[in-house]
Structure 1
Amino acid sequence: MAGRVWLITGCSAGFGRALALAALAAGDRVVATARRPERLADLAGAGPGRVRTARLDVTDAATIDEAVTSALSAFGRIDVVVNNAGHGSVGAVEELAMAELRALMEVMFFGAVAVTKAVLPHLRGQGGGTIVQMSSMGGQVSMPGFGAYCAAKSALEGVSEALAAEVAPFGVRVLIVEPGAFRTEFGGPRMHRSQAIDEYRVSTARTRAAVDTMDGTQPGDPAKAAQAILRAVDDPDPTLRLALGNDAVDNIRAHHEQLRIDLERWEKVSRSTDLVGSAVAGRSRSR
């Protein structure tokens, strides 16, 4: 479907920029957005006449509506929406200020939901489209020091899995992308760091040290990730989740195996908690 229209958040760097370039190289049209659209001026040269830039702050409903209107005015439709805007955070749960956690959720979860809700009437009306949710392997696998970040991604995955079933009758697809470590400025100066509590060095020091040195050393290539996402968007037999990177595949697989082991180990206890011989139990078995 050359000529599709993409609306992408967070295009100033990382996956957003890589996806914008990949879509333009495929002959598509792109509305590239960022909180500071002046940082996107160079994208115009990658697809003359096929690029529009717009300011979009996912925490500001007015800019979301304006960006959607701009896309529809420029190109008449939206075919692929990519919720990519976000940033990292490191800190133990006790170290997190509640205001910090709420601010992170506003961007990583509520912002993505707001953008999704803004475009859904148009996707339903045209009878198709794809919503790409940029999650992380952290959407399934959490680790010390990344609790806030993983919580936001896990919440996004939960709402997106429900969304996928809700919009399928309208021809709208949802793709949850779960990258591992890619060279996307994750861990750089934009990474939020909670104030440290000395006692947590025993469990989070390695994570904090890794964050301080990871930027520019990650194994993942954002350009290859973008190509993989385009391939998944084009696939006639769509997947709901797409893991990207060897680390993502290995860690998610190990997590699923541990879930299987725990479920089997405690299955007898788990199954013993239903009401026995009651109408409630009968109804439960009949479902």
Structure 2
Amino acid sequence: MKTWFITGCSSGIGEGIAKAILASGDRAIVTARDSSKLESFVKEYPHTAVALSLDLNQQTSIIHAVEEGTKLFGGIDVLVNNAGYSYRGAVEEAEIQEVDKLFQTNFFGPIELIKRILPQMRRKQSGAIINLSSISAIKGIVGSGYYAAAKSALDSISEVLAMETEPLGIKVMTVEPGAIRTRFNDTSLKESAVFIDDYKETAAKSRKENLVNPNNQIGDPNKVGQVIVDLIEKTDYPRKILLGSDAVSFALETYQERLEEVEKWKTISLQTDYE
């Protein structure tokens, strides 16, 4: 029986992951900023679920959640960094204090959790870390540049972490989902208070007032959760996995564009070597 520590479990993918974990018989430390939203997990699984409050913008909250979860279940075997939100606005429009919060939640908070939990895994020479990224890390979307930057940072550091920890018996997997049918575009979307009219035909089109959540996204958060739980149990697991047919199509198209650009400019690229 493994003990999982999951962030952002009050809805969406985090909720789907927690459901799959608990249904499998494993233990789950489910977290959210408001732990009262997680009571249903504890009621259904009183012996294997614990709900804790966690604010990734507060180091004291991170420390307390890890220490409390470790004390209750004796250790943490799998960390799932799922919590996150998006921020809309042109690059020029962004308010630096809001960008700081975005990176704290989507990047620095997860890194702090990794650093707090990794010592346990190193001692046991086993464990797994699952980082929820986005297809935005493959190619940014106009108006969401800072979100793409945060997820790209998480993607890159996950690749390095995987190479560093694999010899220690610790798995690292990055998940890049496409559009999932969640409340992400409703409750997990912030935007810049600054508006520059010159961006009305580009970045402005992704602002909240110009978006309607059709709630018909192809991705099922419960299936996402089950796939993640199943994958990490495998000996042959992916270090990086796309989830959703839209994610696969998006990635293939983007990588093809990049290969074509490399070929187009290759002769110039090769001109910078010493003779």
TM-score, normalization: structure 1? Answer: 0.91
What is the letter of the counterpart of residue 200 of structure 1?
Answer: Y
Measured after TM superposition, the shift of residue 205 of structure 1 is 4.0
Kindly indicate whether residue 108 of structure 2 is the aligned counterpart of residue 124 of structure 1: no
What is the letter of the counterpart of residue 24 of structure 2?
Answer: A
Residues 246-285 of structure 1 correspond to what in structure 2 (within 5 A)? 246-276=245-275
What is the letter of the counterpart of residue 243 of structure 1?
Answer: L
For residues 215 and 176 of structure 1, do their structure 2 counterparts lie closer, same or farther at Cα, with a shift above 3 Å needed?
farther
Which stretch shifts more, 259-268 or 149-158? 259-268
- Which residue number corresponds to residue 5 of structure 1? 3
For residues 189 and 67 of structure 1, do their structure 2 counterparts lie closer, same or farther at Cα, with a shift above 3 Å needed?
closer
Distance 1:49 1:230 in 2: 20
Query: How many residue pairs get matched?
Result: 274
For residues 210 and 5 of structure 1, do their structure 2 counterparts lie closer, same or farther at Cα, with a shift above 3 Å needed?
farther
For residues 30 and 215 of structure 1, do their structure 2 counterparts lie closer, same or farther at Cα, with a shift above 3 Å needed?
farther
Quick one: higher RCO (CA 8 Å, sep 6+), 1 or 2? Answer: 2
Deviations 1:8-39 (A, max 9, x none): 01111111111111100111100001111111
Distance 1:191 1:147 in 2: 13
- Which residue number corresponds to residue 219 of structure 2? 220
The percentage of counterpart residues that share the same residue type is 37
Deviations 1:226-247 (A, max 9, x none): 1111121112112111111111
Which stretch shifts more, 56-65 or 23-32? 56-65
Kept in 2: contact 1:187–1:215 (CA 8 A): no
For residues 266 and 221 of structure 1, do their structure 2 counterparts lie closer, same or farther at Cα, with a shift above 3 Å needed?
same
Which stretch shifts more, 229-238 or 131-140? 229-238
Give 3-state SS (helix, strand or coil) of 2:102's partner.
helix
Give 3-state SS (helix, strand or coil) of 1:182's partner.
coil
Deviations 1:149-201 (A, max 9, x none): 11110011111111110111110111100011112211104310113322212
Kept in 1: contact 2:94–2:192 (CA 8 A): yes
Measured after TM superposition, the shift of residue 215 of structure 1 is 5.8
Instruction: Could you tell me which runs of 5 or more consecutive residues in structure 1 were left unpaired when the two chains were aligned.
Output: 277-287
Kept in 2: contact 1:184–1:222 (CA 8 A): yes
Cα RMSD after superposing both structures: 1.5
- Which residue number corresponds to residue 173 of structure 2? 175
What is the letter of the counterpart of residue 30 of structure 1?
Answer: A
Deviations 1:35-60 (A, max 9, x none): 11111111112322001111111122
Kept in 1: contact 2:191–2:208 (CA 8 A): no
- Which residue number corresponds to residue 93 of structure 2? 95
Give 3-state SS (helix, strand or coil) of 1:78's partner.
coil
Distance 2:217 2:209 in 1: 11
- Which residue number corresponds to residue 281 of structure 1? none
Match for 1:68 among 46, 52, 66?
A: 66
Distance 1:25 1:124 in 2: 27
Give 3-state SS (helix, strand or coil) of 1:94's partner.
coil
Kept in 1: contact 2:42–2:50 (CA 8 A): yes
Give 3-state SS (helix, strand or coil) of 1:181's partner.
coil
Residues 1-287 of structure 1 correspond to what in structure 2 (within 5 A)? 3-195=1-193, 196-208=195-207, 212-214=211-213, 216-276=215-275
Deviations 1:83-107 (A, max 9, x none): 1111111111111111221111111
Which stretch shifts more, 168-177 or 74-83? 74-83
Give 3-state SS (helix, strand or coil) of 2:186's partner.
coil
Work out which of the two has the higher radius of gyration on C-alpha atoms and give 1 or 2. 1
Instruction: Could you tell me which runs of 5 or more consecutive residues in structure 2 were left unpaired when the two chains were aligned.
Output: none
Kept in 1: contact 2:57–2:101 (CA 8 A): no
Kept in 2: contact 1:58–1:111 (CA 8 A): yes
Kept in 1: contact 2:84–2:188 (CA 8 A): no
Kept in 2: contact 1:187–1:214 (CA 8 A): yes
Distance 1:270 1:210 in 2: 43
Measured after TM superposition, the shift of residue 77 of structure 1 is 2.1
What is the letter of the counterpart of residue 115 of structure 1?
Answer: L
Kept in 1: contact 2:102–2:147 (CA 8 A): yes
